[in-house]
Amino acid sequence: MSARKSARTVEVARGVHWLPLRGANAYFVHSGESWVLIDAGFPGCGRIIAEVAERLCGATGRPESILITHGHLDHVGSAVGLAAAWNVPILAPMGEMPFIDGTALYPEPLVAWLARVLPRRAMEALVRDSDLGDAVRPFEPQAGVPGLPEWACVPTPGHTPGHVAFFRPVDRTLIAGDAVLTMAWSSRLGGRGAGWLWDLVRRKPRLSGPPTIFTCNWRDAAASVVALAELDPWVLATGHGTPLAGRHAAPALGAFAARVAAASVC
C-alpha cells in the first residue's frame, strides 16, 4: 500500500488518516473542507489526538464532531475532554445510548462477572460513571453518517448492541470499529487455538473477531462479520490492529467471514 505518513499518522485512503494510540485506533476523516474524528482512544489520549488534529486539519484543529463506533472505554475514553476543548458534540449511534448515558452497563461477560463479585453499590457507581454527559447526541444509522455525506453507516451489532461501522462506497473504504480486528486476539470468532497467541506475540497481522470478554452477542457478531465482508472493502480500517489495504483486503475478509459462517456460534 502506498501511504503518506505524517508523524504518527498514515493516510490509509483519500482523506482518511489512521492514528495508532495505546492499544486502539482513531481516524481523522475529511469531507470537503471539514472533518470528523472517529473514535477517541483510552483516557489520556486527548493530547496526542489534539496535536495531530492541529497538524492535519489546520491551526484550530477543530472537527465538526466526534463520531463513535461504540461506547467502550478504549473508543470514548478521551472523547469528553476533546469535545469540551473543541466545543463539538459526541455523536453516538442510537443503540449505544443506554450504555453511555448512565442508564445501563453492557450485557457482556466482563460485566456479568463483576456483578457476581462486586457489591450492588459498586455496580450502581459503574453505571453512573458510564455517562458521557451532555455533549453526546444520538444519531440514527439509517439516516447516514453525520458530517460525512459520502459515507454510509452500517449497523454491526454483536460486540455491543448498537455498534456501527462506516463505509465509503466510492472507494470501498471501511472503518469497522471492533466488529472485526486486524490483529490476533482472543475471540470466539477466529481467536481460538495456540496459533492466535503466537501471532499476537509476533504482532503478525491476522483477522479475528471482537474480544471474548467484551462481546455481548456472538450470533449477532458473526452476522456482522459476514455483512461487512459482503461490502467487498478495498481498505479495512479497524479499531485495533494495522489497517489492511489493497487487493488482498476483500479476499481476506471474505475468507474469514466464510469460516465464521461455517462455524457453530451460540
Q: Give the pLDDT band of residue 265 (cuts 50, 70, 90).
A: low
Mean pLDDT of 1-29: 82
**Dist CA 159 CA 181 (whole Å):** 11
- φ, ψ for residue 76 (rounded to 5)? -125, 5
User: What is the length of the chain?
Assistant: 266
Q: Beta-carbon neighbour count of residue 262 at 10 Å?
A: 8
- Residue 62 or residue 238, greater confidence: 238
pLDDT tens-digit map of 117-127: 999 999 999 99
Q: How far apart are CA 201 and CA 129, in angstroms?
A: 33
Please check the confidence at residue 200 and state whether its pLDDT lies above 80.
no
Which CATH number fits the domain that encloses residue 168? 3.60.15.10
Comparing 42 with 4, the larger pLDDT belongs to 42
Model confidence pLDDT, tens digit, residues 125-154: 999 999 999 999 999 999 999 999 999 999
Determine the pLDDT at residue 181. 96
The secondary structure of residue 45, as a DSSP letter, is: -
- Split at pLDDT 50, 70, 90, the class of 264 is low
Q: What is the pLDDT of residues 212-259, one digit of tens each?
A: 999 999 999 999 999 999 999 999 999 999 999 999 999 999 999 999
- What are the strands of the beta sheet with 173-177, ordered from one edge? 152-155, 164-168, 173-177, 235-238, 244-245
User: So what's the pLDDT on residue 100?
Assistant: 98
Q: Which residue has the cell 457453530?
A: 264
Boundaries of domain holding 118:
5-142+150-262
**3 state DSSP class of 244:** strand
Residue 211 CA to its chain's centroid (Å): 12
Give this prediction's pTM: 0.93
Number of helical H runs and strand E runs in the chain? 9, 13
State how far the Cα of 2 lies from the Cα of 188, in Å rounded to an integer: 33
pLDDT score for 23: 86
The residue with greater pLDDT, 209 or 205, is 209
Region for 133 from its dihedrals, namely left if φ exceeds 0, alpha if ψ lies in -120 to 50, beta otherwise:
left
Whole-number Å distance between alpha carbons of 151 and 156: 15
Give the count of domains, the chain. Answer: 1
